[in-house]
Chains A and B, each alone.
Chain A
């Protein structure tokens, strides 16, 4: 998470934790391809050729999953408050979202689960349109973010 705060401006970048670099991801996939193809071809030569298609199918599934994982490697949520607007920029996989609310009208709402079973949800918005932010944060940090945002937009 990165954060920058000026007098009446606020900027906060939130990123989920990702410990797998692209290089490692490729290495993991390559390791599986080499292992599976090696095993599949060996059994093909021995006459048990039906192992090979299953190995290929599994490589395909692993490839799809690792691709989906890599697509989310650069997810982020950027919250910007300037003199007129509260803006939320979000990247989820390949999709990018941009939400913009008038700062004067914006509402910050922390919705807590009555049983404290589920995490709270921090939503911002106005005129009946709301967007959830800070879902990647833990409870205390989300409360601090809600408090900071309320203070900033009230200045």
Chain B
């Protein structure tokens, strides 16, 4: 007679198929969770972007009075935190969730339930972060770096923001562990590490970075909290603490964080450029080692954010040279992308346009980074709008443009519909032009001495600030076109084939568009 128990033992049981809202809350499917991350990122992009519009309205001309200086500082702080932790990081995790299992031939992420939790703690973190603006005394106002003593002086809103950031940190750590385990344990037979797509490689390295530095952020935030409420004096000079120690701790996290935001973008670009150049990626191996080198160097350059804090000159020199060293592997990457395009049969669909813009804009940001890395000249640039221009060229011109390009690249795969190419190109040109109108003049403002994080400025800076603000309003409005294109593509359009782009390579293109809800239940063989 049978000794069997019921089918509930099937650990991969798909008996219960929640639909509607429950599907999204309880889903453990990597495509669903990827979609959730991407939608969340888009929402935060508009929230953070809304704050940016408010900031640029205040800076449109001198003596504007839309906001009090206190509220301006809060908007500035929240803009930075939301764009970094809400728009860019979740966006890149969304791409990872959607694409990594498809690219390595895995049926799902290695830890699907953990994946669900990683996403669903995000909204709570952001509720605290954004809710802090409505707390008595307002939100944090010390900039995204939360430097003490400003962050020690804030009200309960600062506590809410710190707690929110801790929650976001937990989400990032869990997401990163999941990516590492997925990439290492669930690759299809034959897919050796050196056969992995560059996007997977960059995420593997990024996840390592994330896991390495997140406890540092957690420690820094906890010490801020204990300084605020438990009578410790880690960073409070009034009690013998050292605010510069916070800067060391924060930037040990903060600089790798910059690479956490740009390395996956490198991976995205490394997928797009070969497809539209109709050539394999030039120097794949050197790309992998360059990514590893950048990740390693990111641990030893944090001091360049603190050149004016009074470190020993030997430390300044060390950080200057180590920072300039990063230009070498980064240069390898830029060279390889350019060499991939060299004598390729190029075509200029929207993803490729974004990739080329990335190449140009990121290089501009990289070169201004080399200028900032020079300790003597940084004494002039530090805390000016030159820095603001630099990191927007890296983060918007780099990470965000790469994500936009990748969105157009894989949107037909995700939805099964082709997007409107004409509108996509309009979106590209409007974004690129308005981005440069917004941020290029900020180089001039910074070199002329306009400090960052101020709600008002001297009359001499008025002209370029007006140009920058007009560009920002155009840039913000252009993104509404992206939403229209997205909605239009999701709702319908020309049917997309499995291989959307004729010279695209990779396992994701072997699946139909859209891919089945459960794909690669048995791994494909890679030859």
> Judging by beta carbons under 8 Å apart, are B214 and A48 in contact?
no
> Judging by beta carbons under 8 Å apart, are A69 and B185 in contact?
yes
Q: How far is the CA of A133 from the CA of B17 in the complex (A)?
A: 19
Chain B residues, CB < 8 A from A97? 5, 9
> Judging by beta carbons under 8 Å apart, are B1 and A113 in contact?
no
| Partner pick for B11 among A54, A126, A135, CB 8 A cutoff | A135
| Partner pick for B5 among A24, A69, A92, A131, CB 8 A cutoff | A131
| Partner pick for A51 among B3, B184, B188, B249, CB 8 A cutoff | B249
A-B contact number at CB 8 A: 166
Q: Mark A68-111, 1 if CB is under 8 A from B, else 0.
A: 01000000000000000000101010000111111001000000
> Judging by beta carbons under 8 Å apart, are B5 and A99 in contact?
yes
Per the 8 Å Cβ criterion, residues 104-122 of A in contact with B are 105, 113, 116-119, 121
Pairs across A and B, CB under 8 Å, 21 listed: A20-B184, A36-B212, A46-B248, A47-B234, A48-B248, A48-B249, A58-B214, A65-B114, A69-B110, A88-B4, A97-B5, A99-B2, A102-B1, A102-B2, A118-B518, A121-B7, A125-B7, A129-B2, A129-B6, A130-B7, A137-B521
Chain A residues, CB < 8 A from B422? none
Residue of B7, B110, B186, B222 contacting most chain A CB atoms (<10 Å): B7
> Judging by beta carbons under 8 Å apart, are A36 and B10 in contact?
no
Q: Contacts A47-B234, A132-B10 given; indicate if A24 touches B184 (C-beta within 8 A).
A: yes
A7: interface (CB < 8 Å): no
Residue of B187, B191, B218 contacting most chain A CB atoms (<10 Å): B218
Q: How large is the interface on B (under 10, 10 to 19, 20 to 34, 35 or more residues)?
A: 35 or more
Give, as a whole number of angstroms, the nearest-CB distance from B181 to chain A. Answer: 6
Q: How far is the CA of A19 from the CA of B248 in the complex (A)?
A: 39
> Judging by beta carbons under 8 Å apart, are A65 and B521 in contact?
no
Give, as a whole number of angstroms, the nearest-CB distance from B186 to chain A. Answer: 6
Q: How far is the CA of A18 from the CA of B218 in the complex (A)?
A: 33
Give, as a whole number of angstroms, the nearest-CB distance from B508 to chain A. Answer: 16
> Judging by beta carbons under 8 Å apart, are B234 and A48 in contact?
yes
Extra contacts besides A88-B4, A101-B4 (20): CB < 8 Å: A1-B522, A17-B522, A19-B184, A19-B189, A32-B211, A46-B248, A48-B219, A48-B234, A50-B226, A54-B222, A62-B177, A97-B5, A102-B1, A121-B10, A129-B2, A131-B5, A135-B11, A135-B12, A136-B521, A138-B520
Per the 8 Å Cβ criterion, residues 187-220 of B in contact with A are 187-189, 191, 208, 211-216, 218-220
> Judging by beta carbons under 8 Å apart, are A101 and B2 in contact?
yes
Q: How far is the CA of A133 from the CA of B15 in the complex (A)?
A: 13
Closest to B219 in A: A51
Q: How far is the CA of A46 from the CA of B242 in the complex (A)?
A: 11
Q: How large is the interface on A (under 10, 10 to 19, 20 to 34, 35 or more residues)?
A: 35 or more
Per the 8 Å Cβ criterion, residues 1-42 of B in contact with A are 1-7, 9-15, 17
Q: Contacts A123-B7, A136-B522 given; indicate if A46 touches B245 (C-beta within 8 A).
A: yes
> Judging by beta carbons under 8 Å apart, are A58 and B11 in contact?
no
A61: interface (CB < 8 Å): yes
B111: interface (CB < 8 Å): yes
Closest 8 CB pairs of A and B: A132-B10, A51-B219, A99-B4, A135-B12, A54-B215, A20-B185, A138-B522, A19-B187
> Judging by beta carbons under 8 Å apart, are B9 and A132 in contact?
yes
Give, as a whole number of angstroms, the nearest-CB distance from B280 to chain A. Answer: 23
Chain B residues, CB < 8 A from A99? 2-5
Q: How far is the CA of A139 from the CA of B522 in the complex (A)?
A: 9
B523: interface (CB < 8 Å): yes
Residue of B6, B248, B521 contacting most chain A CB atoms (<10 Å): B521
> Judging by beta carbons under 8 Å apart, are A58 and B14 in contact?
no
Chain B residues, CB < 8 A from A127? 1-2
Give, as a whole number of angstroms, the nearest-CB distance from B121 to chain A. Answer: 14
Q: Contacts A47-B234, A131-B9, A138-B520 given; indicate if A39 touches B2 (C-beta within 8 A).
A: no
Q: Mark B99-131, 1 if CB is under 8 A from A, else 0.
A: 000000010001100100000000000000000
Give, as a whole number of angstroms, the nearest-CB distance from B409 to chain A. Answer: 25
Chain A residues, CB < 8 A from B173? 58, 61
Give, as a whole number of angstroms, the nearest-CB distance from B523 to chain A. Answer: 4
Q: How far is the CA of A58 from the CA of B214 in the complex (A)?
A: 9
Chain A residues, CB < 8 A from B252? 39, 43
> Judging by beta carbons under 8 Å apart, are A139 and B521 in contact?
yes
Residue of B2, B111, B181, B223 contacting most chain A CB atoms (<10 Å): B2
Q: Contacts A102-B1, A129-B2, A136-B522 given; indicate if A118 touches B220 (C-beta within 8 A).
A: no
B88: interface (CB < 8 Å): no
